[in-house]
Amino acid sequence: MQDERRLAVLRAIVEDYVSTQEPVGSKALVERHGLGVSPATVRNDMAALEEEGLITQPHTSAGRIPTDKGYRLFVDRLTTIKPMSNAEKRAIATILDGAVDLDDVVQRSVRLLAQLTHQVAIVQYPTLSRSTVRHVELVSLTPVRLMVILILSSGRVEQRLLDLDVPVEDDDVAGLRGRLAAAVNGRTIAEAITELSSLEVAPGHDGVQAAVVDVLVEAMSDQRGSERVAVGGAANLARFGDSFELSVRPLLEALEEHVVLLKLLGEAQTGGMVTVRIGHEGPYQQFASTSVVSTGYGPGDEAVGNLGVVGPTRMDYPGTMAAVRAVARYVSRILDEA
C-alpha cells in the first residue's frame, strides 16, 4: 500500500509539473488529487521519493520536480497509452488521407505530429534497403522507348525512361516483364539485385534485357543509401520556457544534421512498440534536458522507417505516446494499401 501510494504521489507530481511548469508542494497535491491522506503523510512520501532520486527540490523552500529517474518510473508504470479522442482520430484521417504520394505522406505526417504534440516532430523517410519490391512494370511507349517502373513496399515509385538500340515487339516486352516480376517481386532490394544479375536471358533479346536490368539495378541502388528526415514544429521549442537558451540551441543546430536526428530516433521498432528515451538515456549529452518518443512504421509487420517527437523531459508522456503511435499506425496503413 505504501509503495502504491508513493507511486500515486509521484504520478501526481509529474502531471502537475508538466501542466504548470512549477515545482509541486504537498498541500497542492492533496487539494488537486484527492490522495486520501494528510499533507504530512504526503510530505513523508515526498521525502522518500526524493531519497530514492525520483524527485528533487530545485531550491530551498520550493516544491519538488521529477528527475529523469522519476519520469522513467512514471512511463514504465503507465498501464495503458491514453487513447486518442474521436476528434483527433478524424484529424489524422482527414490530413493523411489526402496525401498524393510518399513525399506528401511524410510531410503531412510531420506537420500533424507537431500539431498534436506541440513538440518537434521528426519523420524518417523509408529506409528503402529494408523495403521489398512490390511490382516491376514495363510500358512500351514506342518500339525503341520503354518506361521502367519500380514500386516498393514503402510506397516509393521510381520511373525511368529507357531508349533502346533496337526496336522491341509488345509480346517481347510482356515476356520480359513476366521474367522480371518472377525474379524480384516480394524480394528485398539486395535480394532483387542478386536475382537480376543472374537472370536468364531470352534468346535474341540479350541487349534489351541487359539495358532494362541495368536501369532497375541503378534505381534500386540509388535507394539503398537513402536516409532523409523531415522536421516540423521547431517553433514549439519556445515552450521550453526558462531553459530555452540552455536546451534549445544544440537542438536547433541538430535539426540541420540528419545523421544526428536519425540517431535520436533510434532503430525502427516493429509491432507498434513505442520507445521513450528520457534525458541522459539519449545518445547525445547536449540533449540531456529532452526526451524522445518514437516508433517504427511500415506495411504489415515490416518497419521501413521511424517517426517521433523531441521535447522537454516535462512533456505529456501519455498523450505524446498516443499521438506517435496513432500517426505511425495510420502511415503504416497507407503504405500497406499503396
- Neighbour-count burial for 125-151, b at 16+ CB within 10 Å, e otherwise: bbbbebbbbbebebebeeeeebebbbb
Is 69 contained in some domain?
A: yes
Classify residue 162 as exposed, middle or buried by CB count within 10 Å of its CB (0-12, 13-18, 19+).
middle
DSSP structure class, residue 127: -
Task: Output the pLDDT for position 244.
Answer: 45
Q: Which of 166, 197, 224 is the last residue of a domain?
A: 224
Residues with Cβ within 8 Å of residue 91, at least 6 apart in sequence: 112, 116
Question: How many structural domains compose the chain?
Answer: 3
Q: CB under 8 Å, gap of 24 or more: what pairs does 272-279 form?
A: 272/325, 272/328, 272/329, 274/81, 274/321, 274/324, 274/325, 275/308, 276/75, 276/317, 276/321, 278/68, 278/71, 278/72, 278/75, 278/313, 279/68, 279/71, 279/313
Task: Output the pLDDT for position 89.
Answer: 85
Is 81 contained in some domain?
A: no
Provide the CB-side half-sphere exposure for 260 (13 A, CA).
14
Segments of the chain with pLDDT less than 50: 224-225, 244-246
Task: Output the pLDDT for position 225.
Answer: 46
- What residues does 132 pair with on adjacent strands? 188
Name the residue among 308, 291, 238 with its Cα closest to residue 67.
291
Same domain? 71 vs 192: no
Same domain? 291 vs 210: no
Same domain? 43 vs 100: no
**Distance linking the first and last C-alpha atoms of the chain:** 52
DSSP structure class, residue 271: T
Q: Which of 39, 55, 76 is the last residue of a domain?
A: 76
Is 120 contained in some domain?
A: yes
Same domain? 110 vs 256: yes
Distance separating alpha carbons of residues 49 and 62, to the nearest angstrom: 15
Q: Which of 175, 205, 224 is the last residue of a domain?
A: 224
Same domain? 57 vs 17: yes
Using DSSP's 3-state secondary structure scheme, residue 170 falls into: helix
Q: CATH code at 97?
A: 3.30.450.40
Same domain? 6 vs 116: no
Same domain? 157 vs 234: no
Task: Output the pLDDT for position 49.
Answer: 94
Name the residue among 148, 105, 132, 164 with its Cα closest to residue 328.
105
Same domain? 18 vs 151: no
Same domain? 200 vs 152: yes
Same domain? 107 vs 236: yes
Is 109 contained in some domain?
A: yes
Range of the domain at 150: 131-224
Q: Which amino acid is at 209?
A: Q
Same domain? 30 vs 98: no
